[in-house]
Amino acid sequence: MKICCIGAGYVGGPTMAMIANKCPDIEVTVVDINADRIAAWKTDDLPIYEPGLLNIVQGARGRNLFFSTEVDRAIRLADIIFVSVNTPTKMFGEGAGRASDLQYWELCARRIKEVSTSDKIIVEKSTLPVRTAEAMERVLHSGDNEVHFEVLSNPEFLAEGTAVSDLEDPDRVLIGGHETDSGQKAVELLVNIYAKWIPKDRILTSNVWSSELSKLTANAFLAQRVSSINAISALCEATEADVADVSHAIGTDSRIGPKFLKASVGFGGSCFKKDILNLVYLCETYGLHEVAAYWQKVVDINEYQQSRFVKNIVQSMFDTIAGKRIVILGFAFKANTGDTRESPAIKVCNELSAEHAELVISDPQALKNAAVDLKELKNVRLEEDPYKAAEGADALALLTDWDEYKDLDFKKVYQSMRKPAFLFDGRNVLDHQELFNIGFEVYSIGKGRLSHLD
Ligand code: NAD
Ligand code: UGA
């Protein structure tokens, strides 16, 4: 059996490496129009930073895992084609700023139709609006091509930074297919591929529309939990409650559960915002305005939380940060990735820069992306070494929960900074009392401030 995956990004690369690793009898070819990305997948300097991924890739590369820019050839030879291209928020025309931009997906569908000479199963791996498969089937079966295409939905639930364990041992795999004979046969084929390493009771099947909608809903629910606790963090700051205590107290209720209740400077990542905006747009398209407004608030609270963090910095530093040096500890949207898409650090840096602060950005993996994200800003310096970054600075703002920041020698850091030295912990990962004892002015999310200035 031959599999082709169109799109060698954060999803296509790791998911196909795992399938190739677990199924040595299947030949897997990952294709992309981005030649640099494909070239990097062929080296040990992979195009994405993901712990454990290199091992998985090395285990199958050259044996039954191949990376190529020959898109047409891989399509023609494949029995199953996963489409894992980007589906960003549409930035023009109808639905601009909310709807999903499906142009890359449709281009793939047209290419598949154009070059295929045998029947194929097309798997939606990208996150797509509910009922996209219907539109894609129309494209695939338009004209006089005799070939039959069976479209399945198989959304991906991996999180960056833990992609390898998420793929190896997922909570579930979801496969949606049509309730026709050919649809069910295709579902069974895909179920049997995943069953090579995932217990069958964790492989869920449904119709295509439920599968498509489940992906958007899962991301909306996860993001909603973060926005809910972040909304409560603002109330904690006003009332001397501690958001960590509140989070722990509610999370021990087995009906609520402890995960995704960590207050922060806000959620980032390429998908939460775009998928919720897409859900909002879909609801509005179906005339469900109240439902749309409900989900829109999850995104609104996230923007509010980021701006609130900056406002707190400005107010704490005597209402002016013009000319003051602020070190950003962590630019990635979460730890263990170099990905900065929709990272809260982007909005925070833009707002700090608008106040004429001088910025020094430090991150173990994301500086290359940070340079692109901040290229319009003046007075920005990139410095990987956090100790050098902190020299002569007025404040530190921790925005990514990298482990290495928890282990910094903060006495040394404090000594090299200008006084009063401020620390704003946007992830609540540091020992605030200890930092206060060292001499820092300490501000965090949803907790009382620790100040020597009162
Ligand atoms: P990405 O931008 O990292 O990768 C997409 C790749 O598709 C790019 O390399 C691009 O060059 C390629 N591409 C675009 N059009 C193409 C075409 N016509 N032919 C060949 N290649 C083409 O995106 P990603 O983060 O991997 O996300 C892909 C999809 O998976 C999105 O729909 C996203 O919502 C979803 N998703 C992402 C994650 C995640 O953690 N990043 C998790 C689950 C689901
Ligand atoms: C998320 C989902 O967790 C995946 O299941 C999904 O497949 C993926 O989106 C996707 O569709 O792209 P990801 O964005 O990689 O994965 O990372 P998460 O761990 O979900 O974190 C998202 C953001 O929320 C990060 O900025 C993180 O720091 C923040 N977060 C998370 C919090 O602020 N508090 C929490 O308690 C949890």
Print pLDDT tens along the chain (454 aa): 999 999 999 999 999 999 999 999 999 999 999 999 999 999 999 999 999 999 999 999 999 999 999 999 999 999 999 999 999 999 999 999 999 999 999 999 999 999 999 999 999 999 999 999 999 999 999 987 789 999 999 999 999 999 999 999 999 999 999 999 999 999 999 999 999 999 999 999 999 999 999 999 999 999 999 999 999 999 999 999 999 999 999 999 999 999 999 999 999 999 999 999 999 999 999 999 999 999 999 999 999 999 999 999 999 999 999 999 999 999 999 999 999 999 999 999 999 999 999 999 999 999 999 999 999 999 999 999 999 999 999 999 999 999 999 999 999 999 999 999 999 999 999 999 999 999 999 999 999 999 999 8
For ligand 2, atom 3: residue with the closest CA:
159
Which helix or strand (DSSP H or E) is residue 124 part of?
strand 120-124
- What is the identity of the amino acid at 157? F
Task: For residue 166, report the distance from its CA to the centre of ligand 2, in Å.
Answer: 13
Task: For residue 275, report the distance from its CA to the centre of ligand 2, in Å.
Answer: 12
Q: Do you know the residue count of the chain?
A: 454
- Report the C-alpha gap between 373 and 376 in whole angstroms: 8
- Report the C-alpha gap between 397 and 343 in whole angstroms: 14
Residue 334 in tokens: 């979460």
Q: What is the DSSP track for 37-63?
A: HHHHHTSSS-SS--TTHHHHHHHHBTT
Q: 346 with 313: CB under 8 angstroms?
A: no
- Report the C-alpha gap between 49 and 10 in whole angstroms: 9
Task: For residue 84, report the distance from its CA to the centre of ligand 1, in Å.
Answer: 5
Ligand whose nearest atom lies closest to the CA of 88: 1
Ligand whose nearest atom lies closest to the CA of 124: 1
Residue 113 in tokens: 């139709």
Residue 206 in tokens: 């449904």
Task: For residue 298, report the distance from its CA to the centre of ligand 1, in Å.
Answer: 24
Q: 20 with 28: CB under 8 angstroms?
A: yes
pTM for the whole structure: 0.97
Q: 354 with 380: CB under 8 angstroms?
A: no
For ligand 1, atom 10: residue with the closest CA:
7
- Is 23 known to be catalytic? no
Residue 356 in tokens: 């004429």
Residue 195 φ/ψ, nearest 5 degrees: -65, -10
Cβ of 267 below 6 Å from ligand 2: yes
Sign, CA dihedral 350-351-354-356, equals negative
Q: What is the pLDDT of residue 144?
A: 79
Q: What is the pLDDT of residue 248?
A: 98
For ligand 1, atom 11: residue with the closest CA:
34
* Selection from 69, 60, 76 nearest residue 119 by Cα: 76
Q: Catalytic: which of 4, 271, 283, 349?
A: 271
Q: Which atom of ligand 2 is nearest to the CA of 427?
A: 33
Cβ of 244 below 6 Å from ligand 2: no
Q: Scan for tokens 């100040």, then name that residue.
A: 451
- Report the C-alpha gap between 441 and 454 in whole angstroms: 10
